[in-house]
Chains A and B, each alone.
Chain A
Amino acid sequence: MFAYIIRRVLFSVPIVFGVMLLTFFLFFVIQSPDAMARRVLGPKATPQTVNTWLHNRGYDKPIIVPRAAKQSFADYLLISRSWKDSLFIHQMTRLATFDLGSSDVTGRPLIDIFKSGALPSLLITLPAFLLGLMVSIGFALYFVFIRNSALDLLGTFLCIALMSVPLMVYIIFGQWFAALVLKYFPAFGFHMQGMSTLKFLLLPVALIVVSGLGADVRLFRALFLEEMGQDYIRTARAKGVSSARVLLQHVLKNGLINLITMMVASLPFLIMGSLVIENFFGIPGLGNVLFSAIQAPDFAVVQASVFLGSILYLFGLILTDLCYAWADPRIRLH
């Protein structure tokens, strides 16, 4: 088991490396370092200030491979020295020690940015995740209980209908209804201030739960139905255990193991927040941080978010495997 974890972590290193390489490529395709400097420093910047800005951040170095402008073929073969001096290698060695640096635009340390962004993100995604899980499991169990009845059929149809509404329409309608018709919830914004924070959270959380409900209920229903077909359920029924008890004790317990295993991969991602919801409601979470960094553009922020995001993603995958092995002793990790 321990060897397995070590191997998986080692396997993750080239993936993170590849992700960062791709990010470098994609980002500098959007914006060259020069254009970025000019945008941050304003139109009045002299070439000198631009150059010092670039130099201080290491952007005057070649990005991935040295530019081929004046190089002959012989220089290519001697790439090793200048290769080590590229921006990519420079930044990667820095990130490897989790030194995130600071924002290119505001100069704020990135640790601060992520620390202040993580809480609003988690305040939205964590309650939404837990609430969504509970509501979906409740509905799914009920539909399994009344399976193949007219109500079950109607439920399935409603779930598909819920899945077919675009997130934008949920948000627009929710905002319009809650804020303009009920006149109670704020339609936009976020304020961390004790209990009144709750007011800002309710609508986004409710929207995430409702928009995810259809897909989750259907998934969980299928999961529980599969459990219903197992032999041990038949035995329990034959033994005289009531239908409701079978459902709540046997099916729920065993189904839950599968379910948690499936959901665990998304746990680390909760901290990254929900990009569209945060952007729409003006919540200063990590989803919003990444989105505005792509638009700004602020390379340091994009780079660090992608780096942390890919580590979280791979962490989630390893967690899933461990969960499987833990839940089902027949699975051996090696």
Chain B
Amino acid sequence: MALLDQLWFQNTLVLIGYALVASLLSSATKGERWQAASSRLKRDYVGIAAFVVIVLFVFIGSMEMIRLPSNEGRRTLLDLVTTGIPQEKEYAAPMATHAFSVANPRPLNGRHLLGTDTLGRDTLVQTLRATRTALIIGGLTSIIYIPIGVLLGIMAGYYKRWVDDLIQYLYSTIASVPEILMLVAILMVLGKGLGTMSIALGITGWVGLARLIRGETLRQTEKPYITAAKAMGQSDWKIITRHLLPNVMHLVVIKFVLGFSGLVLTEAVLSYLGVGAPIGTASWGGMIDASRSELSRDPVVWWNLTSAATALFLLVLSLNIFGDSLRRAFDPRQT
């Protein structure tokens, strides 16, 4: 589509995405519950360290997301920063001065901190570039599945009866279809791409959240404040948005952080199953998948696997640790 190729349009989309995630977080961080939690969170230094790492990843990924005007193909902020790094023609080991081939070790155009891949691209740059893929898969999918999951979960828990039956039916059905069939089919129809992958993952991903929110809503509706609100004649819509939503929002934030790490891991598996990021888009899953043949070479090409796996591990670890800190901050009884 012509509009999608426009520079300003793509950059605006990125900003809208950030705004959506930011508004989700800011709406969740209101209220007393959050204040008690945030004071606990401030004393959790491991959690803060994890949060700093996450912010760093978001920063790197954003550099690859913002496009700059250019005459030849895609050019991003990250390209601008890394223009000094020369392109090679083949594998190069980390910090090597000559190319990684036994027969003809040509001198390289420059040194590469983490070596190069089979096309001679700098592994470090590719690894940083792939952060964008992880952020898009995690972020866009969250934007899709969280509203669906929250809405259906609250509705099932609040209205009960046939609404509950219908929504339970819906998610039991989706949970019973093999996820891989769903993903392959959706990607076949919409075409391979990060956006379509997020849609596919979003369609299958809301089930867990809806189940969680339904359970919590059922618990909340038993409480006197809901009965009081009903007795005072407040409309269903007001009860849902003013009373129920703020009381389940902390679960949504925890699920968002932990779900994000799950999505980044899923991307790696999808690459192996052949429905991962499209060719030409750097992704950790793709790099890990490509490294299978590299490990059987002699001598072993280990740096691509190591860099991609380390970056992936760091992001997922930080998300898991931070998500855990959040959970502890909101529910101090559990350790």
Q: Which chain A residues in 150-166 approach chain B with CB under 8 Å?
A: 160-161, 163-166
A160 touches B265 (CB 8 A): no
B175 touches A313 (CB 8 A): yes
Contacts of B217 in A (CB 8 A): none
Q: Number of A residues contacting the other chain (C-beta, 8 Å)?
A: 43
How far, in whole Å, are A222 and B289 apart by their CA atoms in the complex? Answer: 35
How far, in whole Å, are A306 and B182 apart by their CA atoms in the complex? Answer: 11
How far, in whole Å, are A14 and B169 apart by their CA atoms in the complex? Answer: 8
Contacts of B252 in A (CB 8 A): none
Q: Which chain B residues in 278-333 approach chain A with CB under 8 Å?
A: 285, 288-289, 291-292, 295-296, 305, 309, 312-313, 316-317, 320-321, 324
| Neighbour of B320 across the interface among A29, A160, A168, CB < 8 A | A160
Contacts of B273 in A (CB 8 A): 276, 279, 291
Q: How far is the CB of B180 from chain A (nearest CB, A)?
A: 6
How far, in whole Å, are A164 and B316 apart by their CA atoms in the complex? Answer: 5
B185 touches A29 (CB 8 A): yes
| Neighbour of A313 across the interface among B176, B184, B268, CB < 8 A | B176
Chain A interface secondary structure, helix, strand, loop or mixed?
helix
A6 within 8 A of B: no
A22 touches B177 (CB 8 A): yes
Contacts of A16 in B (CB 8 A): 176
Known: A29-B188, A164-B317, A313-B176. A276 touches B269 (CB 8 A): yes
A26 within 8 A of B: yes
A241 within 8 A of B: no
How far, in whole Å, are A163 and B324 apart by their CA atoms in the complex? Answer: 12
A302 within 8 A of B: yes
A18 touches B169 (CB 8 A): yes
Q: Number of B residues contacting the other chain (C-beta, 8 Å)?
A: 42
B317 touches A160 (CB 8 A): yes
A41 within 8 A of B: no
Known: A18-B173, A166-B269. A222 touches B334 (CB 8 A): yes
Contacts of B175 in A (CB 8 A): 313
Known: A160-B324, A166-B268, A168-B285. A15 touches B177 (CB 8 A): no
A309 within 8 A of B: yes
B173 touches A172 (CB 8 A): no
Residue of A nearest to B316 (CB): A164
B185 touches A26 (CB 8 A): yes
Contacts of B59 in A (CB 8 A): none
Contacts of A225 in B (CB 8 A): 334-335
Q: How far is the CB of B327 from chain A (nearest CB, A)?
A: 10
B313 touches A164 (CB 8 A): yes
Q: How far is the CB of A172 from chain B (nearest CB, A)?
A: 6
Q: How far is the CB of A67 from chain B (nearest CB, A)?
A: 18
Residue of B nearest to A297 (CB): B184
B27 within 8 A of A: no
A19 touches B321 (CB 8 A): no
A15 touches B295 (CB 8 A): no
Residue of A nearest to B50 (CB): A160
A169 touches B317 (CB 8 A): no
Contacts of B188 in A (CB 8 A): 29-30
How far, in whole Å, are A23 and B184 apart by their CA atoms in the complex? Answer: 12
B224 within 8 A of A: no
Q: How far is the CB of B151 from chain A (nearest CB, A)?
A: 20
Q: Which chain A residues in 221-249 approach chain B with CB under 8 Å?
A: 222, 225
Q: How far is the CB of A215 from chain B (nearest CB, A)?
A: 10
A168 touches B289 (CB 8 A): yes
Contacts of A165 in B (CB 8 A): 309, 313
B288 touches A166 (CB 8 A): yes
B81 within 8 A of A: no
Contacts of A169 in B (CB 8 A): 268, 288, 305, 309, 312-313
A275 within 8 A of B: yes
Contacts of A290 in B (CB 8 A): 178, 180-181
B317 touches A161 (CB 8 A): yes
A291 touches B324 (CB 8 A): no
Q: How far is the CB of A204 from chain B (nearest CB, A)?
A: 15
Known: A22-B177, A172-B305, A310-B176. A276 touches B272 (CB 8 A): yes
B198 within 8 A of A: no
Known: A26-B181, A172-B291, A172-B292. A19 touches B176 (CB 8 A): yes
Contacts of A294 in B (CB 8 A): 180-181, 184
A76 within 8 A of B: no
B265 touches A167 (CB 8 A): yes
Contacts of B285 in A (CB 8 A): 166, 168
A326 within 8 A of B: no
Residue of A nearest to B261 (CB): A164
How far, in whole Å, are A310 and B291 apart by their CA atoms in the complex? Answer: 35
Contacts of B288 in A (CB 8 A): 166, 168-169, 172
Q: How far is the CB of A130 from chain B (nearest CB, A)?
A: 24
B241 within 8 A of A: no
A163 touches B320 (CB 8 A): yes
A27 within 8 A of B: yes
29 A-B pairs with CB atoms under 8 Å apart are: A14-B169, A15-B173, A18-B169, A19-B173, A19-B176, A22-B174, A23-B177, A23-B181, A26-B177, A27-B185, A30-B188, A160-B320, A161-B317, A164-B316, A165-B309, A167-B268, A167-B269, A168-B288, A180-B295, A180-B296, A222-B334, A225-B335, A276-B269, A291-B273, A294-B180, A294-B181, A302-B181, A309-B176, A313-B175
Interface residues of B (CB under 8 A from A): 169, 172-178, 180-182, 184-186, 188-189, 261, 265, 268-269, 271-274, 285, 288-289, 291-292, 295-296, 305, 309, 312-313, 316-317, 320-321, 324, 334-335
Which 6 residue pairs are nearest across A and B when measured between Cβ atoms? A26-B185, A310-B176, A18-B173, A164-B317, A164-B316, A166-B268
